[in-house]
Structure 1
Protein backbone atom coordinates (compact mmCIF):
# COMPACT_ATOMS: atom_id res chain seq x y z
CA UNK A 1 0.00 0.00 0.00
CA UNK A 2 3.05 2.27 0.19
CA UNK A 3 2.70 3.37 -3.45
CA UNK A 4 -1.00 4.24 -3.10
CA UNK A 5 -1.70 7.67 -4.57
CA UNK A 6 -5.05 9.35 -4.25
CA UNK A 7 -4.08 11.64 -7.16
CA UNK A 8 -3.36 8.65 -9.43
CA UNK A 9 -6.58 7.02 -8.24
CA UNK A 10 -8.62 10.14 -8.98
CA UNK A 11 -7.05 10.62 -12.43
CA UNK A 12 -7.51 6.96 -13.35
CA UNK A 13 -11.12 6.80 -12.17
CA UNK A 14 -12.24 9.90 -14.04
CA UNK A 15 -10.32 8.89 -17.16
CA UNK A 16 -11.86 5.41 -17.08
CA UNK A 17 -15.24 7.02 -16.53
CA UNK A 18 -14.68 9.28 -19.57
CA UNK A 19 -13.80 6.30 -21.78
CA UNK A 20 -16.72 4.22 -20.47
CA UNK A 21 -19.32 6.75 -21.60
CA UNK A 22 -21.43 6.38 -18.49
CA UNK A 23 -22.71 9.47 -16.75
CA UNK A 24 -21.58 10.67 -13.34
CA UNK A 25 -25.06 9.90 -12.04
CA UNK A 26 -24.89 6.30 -13.28
CA UNK A 27 -21.42 5.90 -11.80
CA UNK A 28 -22.51 7.33 -8.44
CA UNK A 29 -25.35 4.78 -8.43
CA UNK A 30 -22.92 1.94 -9.16
CA UNK A 31 -20.75 3.06 -6.24
CA UNK A 32 -23.83 3.65 -4.07
CA UNK A 33 -22.67 7.18 -3.25
CA UNK A 34 -24.31 10.52 -3.87
CA UNK A 35 -23.69 12.45 -7.04
CA UNK A 36 -22.58 15.30 -4.79
CA UNK A 37 -19.87 13.12 -3.21
CA UNK A 38 -18.65 12.05 -6.63
CA UNK A 39 -18.36 15.70 -7.68
CA UNK A 40 -16.54 16.51 -4.42
CA UNK A 41 -14.05 13.74 -5.18
CA UNK A 42 -13.58 15.07 -8.73
CA UNK A 43 -12.87 18.54 -7.31
CA UNK A 44 -10.44 17.14 -4.71
CA UNK A 45 -12.74 18.04 -1.80
CA UNK A 46 -13.36 14.43 -0.77
CA UNK A 47 -11.88 10.96 -1.30
CA UNK A 48 -13.13 7.55 -2.31
CA UNK A 49 -13.40 5.04 0.52
CA UNK A 50 -11.69 1.64 0.29
CA UNK A 51 -15.13 0.12 -0.39
CA UNK A 52 -15.63 2.62 -3.24
CA UNK A 53 -12.25 1.71 -4.74
CA UNK A 54 -13.14 -1.98 -4.57
CA UNK A 55 -16.39 -1.33 -6.48
CA UNK A 56 -14.50 0.83 -8.98
CA UNK A 57 -11.96 -1.96 -9.56
CA UNK A 58 -14.74 -4.49 -10.13
CA UNK A 59 -16.71 -2.26 -12.53
CA UNK A 60 -13.70 -1.26 -14.60
CA UNK A 61 -12.17 -4.76 -14.37
CA UNK A 62 -8.89 -3.46 -12.95
CA UNK A 63 -6.97 -4.49 -9.85
CA UNK A 64 -6.93 -2.30 -6.75
CA UNK A 65 -3.17 -1.81 -7.18
CA UNK A 66 -3.52 -0.93 -10.84
CA UNK A 67 -6.08 1.81 -10.15
CA UNK A 68 -4.18 3.32 -7.23
CA UNK A 69 -0.51 3.15 -8.21
CA UNK A 70 0.02 3.77 -11.93
CA UNK A 71 -1.52 5.68 -14.79
CA UNK A 72 -3.82 3.40 -16.77
CA UNK A 73 -3.76 3.65 -20.55
CA UNK A 74 -7.30 3.25 -21.90
CA UNK A 75 -8.27 2.03 -25.34
CA UNK A 76 -10.84 4.01 -27.37
CA UNK A 77 -12.93 0.83 -27.50
CA UNK A 78 -13.12 0.58 -23.68
CA UNK A 79 -16.93 0.91 -23.51
CA UNK A 80 -17.34 -2.16 -25.73
CA UNK A 81 -14.75 -4.05 -23.69
CA UNK A 82 -16.72 -3.27 -20.52
CA UNK A 83 -19.95 -4.37 -22.17
CA UNK A 84 -18.31 -7.69 -23.05
CA UNK A 85 -16.91 -8.08 -19.51
CA UNK A 86 -20.29 -7.36 -17.92
CA UNK A 87 -22.52 -9.14 -20.45
CA UNK A 88 -23.89 -11.44 -17.69
CA UNK A 89 -24.40 -8.63 -15.14
CA UNK A 90 -27.85 -7.27 -16.00
CA UNK A 91 -27.41 -4.00 -14.08
CA UNK A 92 -24.04 -3.08 -15.61
CA UNK A 93 -24.98 -4.36 -19.06
CA UNK A 94 -28.09 -2.16 -19.08
CA UNK A 95 -26.04 0.94 -18.21
CA UNK A 96 -23.51 0.16 -20.95
CA UNK A 97 -26.21 -0.59 -23.55
CA UNK A 98 -28.05 2.70 -22.87
CA UNK A 99 -27.05 5.78 -24.78
CA UNK A 100 -23.70 7.12 -23.61
CA UNK A 101 -23.04 10.51 -22.10
CA UNK A 102 -23.04 13.38 -24.61
CA UNK A 103 -19.32 14.12 -24.14
CA UNK A 104 -18.57 10.46 -24.92
CA UNK A 105 -20.86 10.50 -27.98
CA UNK A 106 -19.03 13.56 -29.30
CA UNK A 107 -15.45 12.53 -28.47
CA UNK A 108 -15.55 8.85 -29.34
CA UNK A 109 -18.29 8.60 -31.97
CA UNK A 110 -19.08 11.92 -33.68
CA UNK A 111 -15.50 12.96 -34.47
CA UNK A 112 -14.92 9.58 -36.17
CA UNK A 113 -18.25 9.41 -38.01
CA UNK A 114 -17.83 9.81 -41.79
CA UNK A 115 -20.75 12.28 -41.97
CA UNK A 116 -18.99 14.62 -39.55
CA UNK A 117 -15.31 13.94 -40.10
CA UNK A 118 -14.85 16.29 -43.08
CA UNK A 119 -17.95 18.47 -42.76
CA UNK A 120 -19.48 21.42 -41.00
CA UNK A 121 -22.80 20.44 -39.45
CA UNK A 122 -25.56 22.18 -37.56
CA UNK A 123 -26.77 20.67 -34.28
CA UNK A 124 -29.87 19.23 -35.96
CA UNK A 125 -27.60 17.35 -38.39
CA UNK A 126 -25.42 16.15 -35.52
CA UNK A 127 -28.56 14.85 -33.79
CA UNK A 128 -29.29 12.86 -36.97
CA UNK A 129 -25.80 11.34 -36.78
CA UNK A 130 -26.51 10.26 -33.20
CA UNK A 131 -29.89 8.80 -34.23
CA UNK A 132 -28.00 6.39 -36.52
CA UNK A 133 -26.65 4.88 -33.32
CA UNK A 134 -30.11 4.82 -31.71
CA UNK A 135 -29.41 7.77 -29.39
CA UNK A 136 -31.76 10.67 -28.76
CA UNK A 137 -30.39 13.84 -27.19
CA UNK A 138 -31.78 17.35 -26.76
CA UNK A 139 -30.36 20.10 -29.01
CA UNK A 140 -29.47 22.53 -26.19
CA UNK A 141 -27.57 19.82 -24.30
CA UNK A 142 -25.58 18.81 -27.38
CA UNK A 143 -24.83 22.46 -28.26
CA UNK A 144 -23.59 23.12 -24.74
CA UNK A 145 -21.22 20.11 -24.81
CA UNK A 146 -19.97 20.87 -28.32
CA UNK A 147 -18.98 24.37 -27.21
CA UNK A 148 -17.08 22.97 -24.19
CA UNK A 149 -14.95 20.65 -26.36
CA UNK A 150 -12.81 23.32 -28.02
CA UNK A 151 -9.83 21.02 -28.49
CA UNK A 152 -11.96 18.64 -30.60
CA UNK A 153 -14.74 20.78 -32.05
CA UNK A 154 -14.72 24.14 -33.77
CA UNK A 155 -17.80 26.31 -33.71
CA UNK A 156 -18.56 29.21 -35.99
CA UNK A 157 -21.69 31.17 -36.88
CA UNK A 158 -23.61 29.89 -39.88
CA UNK A 159 -23.03 32.25 -42.81
CA UNK A 160 -26.74 32.31 -43.78
CA UNK A 161 -28.78 31.34 -40.71
CA UNK A 162 -28.73 33.86 -37.90
CA UNK A 163 -28.43 32.25 -34.43
CA UNK A 164 -27.20 28.94 -35.87
CA UNK A 165 -23.70 27.55 -35.47
CA UNK A 166 -21.75 25.17 -37.64
CA UNK A 167 -19.56 22.58 -35.94
CA UNK A 168 -16.55 20.81 -37.41
CA UNK A 169 -13.70 18.63 -36.27
CA UNK A 170 -10.95 20.83 -34.82
CA UNK A 171 -8.19 18.48 -36.01
CA UNK A 172 -9.41 18.88 -39.59
CA UNK A 173 -9.27 22.66 -39.23
CA UNK A 174 -5.82 22.47 -37.62
CA UNK A 175 -4.54 20.38 -40.54
CA UNK A 176 -5.91 22.94 -43.01
CA UNK A 177 -4.21 25.73 -41.05
CA UNK A 178 -0.91 23.82 -41.00
CA UNK A 179 -1.05 23.13 -44.76
CA UNK A 180 -1.90 26.78 -45.47
CA UNK A 181 0.93 28.02 -43.23
CA UNK A 182 3.50 25.64 -44.72
CA UNK A 183 2.62 26.62 -48.30
CA UNK A 184 3.44 30.29 -47.67
Structure 2
Protein backbone atom coordinates (compact mmCIF):
# COMPACT_ATOMS: atom_id res chain seq x y z
CA UNK A 1 0.00 0.00 0.00
CA UNK A 2 1.26 3.45 -0.92
CA UNK A 3 1.94 5.98 1.82
CA UNK A 4 -0.06 9.17 2.37
CA UNK A 5 1.25 11.93 0.13
CA UNK A 6 0.46 15.48 1.25
CA UNK A 7 1.03 17.06 -2.17
CA UNK A 8 -1.20 14.56 -3.96
CA UNK A 9 -3.90 14.92 -1.31
CA UNK A 10 -3.89 18.72 -1.60
CA UNK A 11 -3.99 18.50 -5.40
CA UNK A 12 -6.92 16.08 -5.34
CA UNK A 13 -8.88 18.14 -2.83
CA UNK A 14 -8.37 21.36 -4.81
CA UNK A 15 -9.13 19.69 -8.17
CA UNK A 16 -12.37 18.23 -6.85
CA UNK A 17 -13.24 21.50 -5.12
CA UNK A 18 -12.77 23.45 -8.38
CA UNK A 19 -15.04 21.08 -10.32
CA UNK A 20 -17.70 20.95 -7.59
CA UNK A 21 -18.84 24.54 -8.05
CA UNK A 22 -18.84 25.19 -4.31
CA UNK A 23 -17.74 28.56 -3.00
CA UNK A 24 -14.71 28.70 -0.73
CA UNK A 25 -16.94 29.60 2.21
CA UNK A 26 -19.28 26.64 1.68
CA UNK A 27 -16.40 24.20 1.14
CA UNK A 28 -14.61 25.44 4.26
CA UNK A 29 -17.80 24.92 6.30
CA UNK A 30 -18.22 21.46 4.82
CA UNK A 31 -14.67 20.51 5.83
CA UNK A 32 -14.94 22.17 9.23
CA UNK A 33 -12.11 24.63 8.61
CA UNK A 34 -12.02 28.41 8.38
CA UNK A 35 -12.54 30.19 5.08
CA UNK A 36 -9.41 32.22 5.66
CA UNK A 37 -7.30 29.10 6.21
CA UNK A 38 -8.66 27.49 3.04
CA UNK A 39 -7.99 30.66 1.00
CA UNK A 40 -4.44 30.69 2.35
CA UNK A 41 -3.97 27.05 1.48
CA UNK A 42 -5.25 27.54 -2.08
CA UNK A 43 -2.98 30.54 -2.65
CA UNK A 44 0.21 28.84 -1.41
CA UNK A 45 2.14 26.36 -3.50
CA UNK A 46 3.36 24.42 -0.48
CA UNK A 47 2.67 20.90 0.66
CA UNK A 48 0.31 20.75 3.56
CA UNK A 49 -0.69 17.70 5.52
CA UNK A 50 -4.41 17.85 6.00
CA UNK A 51 -5.84 16.46 9.18
CA UNK A 52 -7.07 12.93 8.35
CA UNK A 53 -10.58 13.88 9.51
CA UNK A 54 -10.68 16.76 7.00
CA UNK A 55 -9.53 14.46 4.20
CA UNK A 56 -12.15 11.90 5.18
CA UNK A 57 -14.88 14.59 5.09
CA UNK A 58 -13.75 15.57 1.59
CA UNK A 59 -13.69 11.91 0.49
CA UNK A 60 -17.17 11.33 1.91
CA UNK A 61 -18.55 14.37 0.15
CA UNK A 62 -16.83 13.64 -3.17
CA UNK A 63 -17.65 9.94 -2.90
CA UNK A 64 -14.03 8.86 -3.35
CA UNK A 65 -11.79 6.24 -1.75
CA UNK A 66 -9.54 7.66 0.99
CA UNK A 67 -6.64 5.36 0.10
CA UNK A 68 -6.63 6.34 -3.57
CA UNK A 69 -7.36 10.01 -2.85
CA UNK A 70 -4.26 10.34 -0.66
CA UNK A 71 -1.79 8.33 -2.77
CA UNK A 72 -2.47 9.02 -6.46
CA UNK A 73 -3.83 11.88 -8.56
CA UNK A 74 -7.49 11.19 -9.28
CA UNK A 75 -9.26 12.06 -12.52
CA UNK A 76 -12.13 14.39 -11.66
CA UNK A 77 -15.33 13.63 -13.57
CA UNK A 78 -16.28 16.50 -15.86
CA UNK A 79 -19.86 16.28 -14.58
CA UNK A 80 -18.85 16.12 -10.90
CA UNK A 81 -21.48 18.60 -9.70
CA UNK A 82 -24.28 16.62 -11.35
CA UNK A 83 -22.95 13.36 -9.89
CA UNK A 84 -22.77 14.92 -6.42
CA UNK A 85 -26.32 16.26 -6.70
CA UNK A 86 -27.58 12.77 -7.54
CA UNK A 87 -25.48 11.09 -4.84
CA UNK A 88 -26.54 13.49 -2.07
CA UNK A 89 -30.23 13.81 -2.98
CA UNK A 90 -31.28 12.33 0.38
CA UNK A 91 -28.76 14.26 2.48
CA UNK A 92 -30.48 17.58 3.35
CA UNK A 93 -27.24 19.40 4.25
CA UNK A 94 -25.35 18.46 1.08
CA UNK A 95 -28.43 18.67 -1.12
CA UNK A 96 -28.98 22.27 0.01
CA UNK A 97 -25.46 23.44 -0.83
CA UNK A 98 -25.51 21.63 -4.17
CA UNK A 99 -28.90 23.16 -5.03
CA UNK A 100 -27.64 26.70 -4.41
CA UNK A 101 -26.01 28.62 -7.26
CA UNK A 102 -22.44 27.48 -7.92
CA UNK A 103 -19.40 29.73 -7.61
CA UNK A 104 -18.94 32.39 -10.27
CA UNK A 105 -15.70 30.74 -11.40
CA UNK A 106 -17.58 27.48 -11.94
CA UNK A 107 -20.26 29.33 -13.91
CA UNK A 108 -17.61 30.98 -16.10
CA UNK A 109 -15.83 27.71 -16.85
CA UNK A 110 -18.87 25.46 -17.23
CA UNK A 111 -21.59 27.70 -18.60
CA UNK A 112 -20.27 30.92 -20.10
CA UNK A 113 -17.44 29.27 -22.04
CA UNK A 114 -19.83 26.63 -23.40
CA UNK A 115 -22.62 29.04 -24.30
CA UNK A 116 -22.99 29.44 -28.07
CA UNK A 117 -23.41 33.22 -27.86
CA UNK A 118 -20.05 33.56 -26.08
CA UNK A 119 -18.22 30.73 -27.85
CA UNK A 120 -19.10 31.96 -31.35
CA UNK A 121 -18.28 35.62 -30.73
CA UNK A 122 -14.90 37.26 -31.18
CA UNK A 123 -15.62 39.45 -28.17
CA UNK A 124 -18.50 40.38 -25.90
CA UNK A 125 -19.18 43.03 -23.30
CA UNK A 126 -19.89 42.34 -19.65
CA UNK A 127 -23.63 42.88 -20.15
CA UNK A 128 -23.74 39.95 -22.60
CA UNK A 129 -22.01 37.65 -20.12
CA UNK A 130 -24.42 38.75 -17.41
CA UNK A 131 -27.33 37.94 -19.73
CA UNK A 132 -25.88 34.45 -20.35
CA UNK A 133 -25.55 33.82 -16.62
CA UNK A 134 -29.02 35.20 -15.86
CA UNK A 135 -30.55 32.57 -18.17
CA UNK A 136 -29.62 30.03 -15.49
CA UNK A 137 -29.40 32.07 -12.27
CA UNK A 138 -31.74 35.06 -12.27
CA UNK A 139 -31.14 36.06 -8.64
CA UNK A 140 -27.36 35.69 -8.57
CA UNK A 141 -25.46 38.79 -7.44
CA UNK A 142 -22.75 39.52 -9.98
CA UNK A 143 -21.03 42.41 -8.24
CA UNK A 144 -17.46 41.19 -8.92
CA UNK A 145 -18.06 39.52 -12.28
CA UNK A 146 -15.63 41.75 -14.18
CA UNK A 147 -12.86 40.95 -11.71
CA UNK A 148 -13.72 37.23 -11.79
CA UNK A 149 -13.57 37.24 -15.59
CA UNK A 150 -10.23 39.04 -15.57
CA UNK A 151 -8.85 36.50 -13.07
CA UNK A 152 -10.06 33.52 -15.11
CA UNK A 153 -7.37 31.48 -16.83
CA UNK A 154 -9.81 30.78 -19.69
CA UNK A 155 -10.95 34.34 -20.51
CA UNK A 156 -8.96 37.16 -22.06
CA UNK A 157 -9.94 40.79 -21.73
CA UNK A 158 -8.95 44.10 -23.29
CA UNK A 159 -10.26 47.67 -23.31
CA UNK A 160 -13.18 48.46 -25.60
CA UNK A 161 -11.87 50.55 -28.51
CA UNK A 162 -14.62 53.19 -28.32
CA UNK A 163 -16.27 52.95 -24.89
CA UNK A 164 -14.40 54.30 -21.88
CA UNK A 165 -14.26 52.11 -18.75
CA UNK A 166 -15.57 49.11 -20.70
CA UNK A 167 -13.77 45.84 -21.40
CA UNK A 168 -14.34 43.22 -24.02
CA UNK A 169 -14.03 39.52 -23.21
CA UNK A 170 -13.27 36.44 -25.25
CA UNK A 171 -11.92 32.90 -24.99
CA UNK A 172 -8.17 32.49 -24.54
Normalised TM-score (structure 2): 0.91
Give the structure with the higher percent helix: 1
Asked whether the equivalents of residues 127 and 137 of structure 1 are also in contact (C-alpha less than 8 Å), the reply is: no
Asked whether the equivalents of residues 112 and 132 of structure 2 are also in contact (C-alpha less than 8 Å), the reply is: yes
After superposition, the C-alpha distances for 1:89-118 in whole angstroms (9 at most, x for unaligned) are 111111111111111111111100111111
Count of residue correspondences: 168
Residue 159 of structure 2 corresponds to residue 145 of structure 1: no
- Highest RCO, 1 vs 2 (Cα 8 Å, sep ≥ 6): 2
- Which secondary structure state, in structure 2, belongs to the residue aligned with residue 125 of structure 1? helix
After superposition, the C-alpha distances for 1:130-158 in whole angstroms (9 at most, x for unaligned) are 1111252324x111111112x41111211
In structure 1, how many angstroms separate the alpha carbons of the residues matched to 2:70 and 2:97? 25
Superposition pairs of residues 48-63 of structure 1, within 5 angstroms: 48-63=50-65
> 1:2 Cα deviation (Å)?
4.2
Instruction: Could you tell me which runs of 5 or more consecutive residues in structure 1 were left unpaired when the two chains were aligned.
Output: 171-184
Superposition RMSD on alpha carbons, in Å? 1.6
Specify the alignment match of 1:173 in structure 2.
none
Specify the alignment match of 2:91 in structure 1.
89
Specify the alignment match of 2:82 in structure 1.
80
Give the 3 Å change call, closer, same or farther, for CA 37–46 of structure 1 in structure 2: farther
In structure 2, how many angstroms separate the alpha carbons of the residues matched to 1:74 and 1:160? 42
In structure 2, how many angstroms separate the alpha carbons of the residues matched to 1:68 and 1:41? 17
Instruction: Could you tell me which runs of 5 or more consecutive residues in structure 2 were left unpaired when the two chains were aligned.
Output: none
